[in-house]
Amino acid sequence: MKQNRTKEAEKILKTAKAVIFDVDGTLLDSMYVWKNVGEKYLDSLDIEAEPDLGDRLFAMSLEGAADYIRENYHLNESREAIIAQVIQLVETEYFYNIPLKSGAERFLKLLKENNIPMAVATSSDRRVVEAAFKRLGIFDYFGRIFTCSETGAGKDKPDIYYRAAEYLGYPPEKIWVFEDAFHAAQTAKNAGFHVTGIYDSSCTEQEKLKKLADIYIEEFSGNNGLL
């Protein structure tokens, strides 16, 4: 495979002691599921959502998003009830339909072959992520999966990245973080991690992500990828 690697891939292999991956929009082509889930939830209650609800909820943990919906739409449902209904709306896609991003498994295999440990940092629910990873055959590549819900903060704060780094056993400057969302990549970058930005059509701040990231790719394999 070496002859098919780009200089960017070689840089990551030479400098990374460990890698942290986002899930939605980075490893999984799943952002279509989340794009309108808040609106769909409110629609099920016959409530009209604000036009930019998806953008507002994007950076939040599930708990934070549930609290926002509950407070701003004056709902009587508990946080837990809202989260349960949101998960129900999306879990079928994770269990049966969501695909990997192009070339993702090849790159994971390359990292494993080079003895680079990997962890996951995700805003999504553990249950659906694990289900998708097992279905797609990539679950065993990762030492641990960290979620914003379990960490207690969204990706507007670096907590989840620090927790993953602590588990991996290396300081931020030795770790590469893969993210498709500008706000999350910015958090990781400001926390001292190297950042690979990856294109996803759901991200409205691609130019900012390109400028921020140490490496920017459109996909894992292909003309503008790593392999």
HEC letters along 99-157: CECCCHHHHHHHHHHCCCCEEEEECCCHHHHHHHHHHHCCHHHCCEEEEHHHHCCCCCC
What share of the chain has pLDDT > 70, as a percent?
98
What separation in angstroms does the CA of 76 have from each of 71, 81, 86, 89?
Answer: 9, 10, 16, 19
The stretch 116-125 carries a mean pLDDT of: 95
Q: Could you tell me if 8 and 176 are in contact, meaning their C-beta atoms sit under 8 angstroms apart?
A: no
The stretch 205-216 carries a mean pLDDT of: 96
pLDDT at 73: 97
CA distance 212 to 196: 9
Q: Does residue 46 carry a pLDDT above 60?
A: yes
- If one counts every other C-beta atom within 10 angstroms of the C-beta of residue 205, the result is 14
pLDDT interval class at 201 (50, 70, 90): confident
What does the pLDDT look like over 138-193, one tens digit per residue? Answer: 999 999 999 999 999 999 999 999 999 999 999 999 999 999 999 999 999 999 99
pLDDT at 93: 87
Partners of 196 in the β-ladder? 178, 215
pLDDT interval class at 1 (50, 70, 90): very low
